[in-house]
Structure 1
């Protein structure tokens, strides 16, 4: 599966990537929801570049463990 196909597995909306806070809004996807002890909910979003890095990390980990890699599960909402 190529990068474009992997990115199509996610829902995208403009936002700020958790790794690139200094950049303007770009297409991002929700990857985690943090619920701080003080209360409230904080969405953690990732840009296309970061999602592809996380997917590659997941793929390599699956290869090392001898398990099946299925793209599209970086975000907690897609698991």
Structure 2
């Protein structure tokens, strides 16, 4: 899959990228949730560049493990 095909698997909306908060609101996708002790559930959002970086890492990990790589948000955290 090329970059745009992978990005098309995600739902995008304005938000704050967890790796680049100083950039302010940018187009992001939810890549996970956290559960802070005193503050309920919070979405973790990533910008397009960070999503691609995360997908590249997942693809490399799958190749090392000899398993299939399936891109997209439903797979996050399951590798």
Q: TM tier, shorter chain?
A: 0.7 to 0.9
Q: Hey, what's the Cα distance between the residues in 1 that align with 2:76 and 2:25?
A: 19
Q: 1:48, CA displacement in angstroms?
A: 0.3
Q: 1:25, CA displacement in angstroms?
A: 1.2
SS of residue paired to 2:46:
strand
Q: Hey, what's the Cα distance between the residues in 2 that align with 1:75 and 1:57?
A: 11
TM-score, normalised to structure 1, is 0.88
Give every structure 1 segment of 4 or more consecutive aligned residues whose post-TM-superposition deviation is greater than 2 Å.
Answer: 73-76
Unaligned runs of 5+ residues in structure 1 are none
Asked if 1:22 corresponds to 2:22, the answer is yes
- RMSD of aligned alpha carbons: 1.4
Q: Tell me the matched-pair count.
A: 76
Unaligned runs of 5+ residues in structure 2 are none
Matched with 1:51 is: 51
**Mapped contact 1:30–1:75 kept (Cα < 8 A):** no
Describe how 1:1-79 pairs up with structure 2 within 5 A.
Answer: 1-73=1-73, 75=76
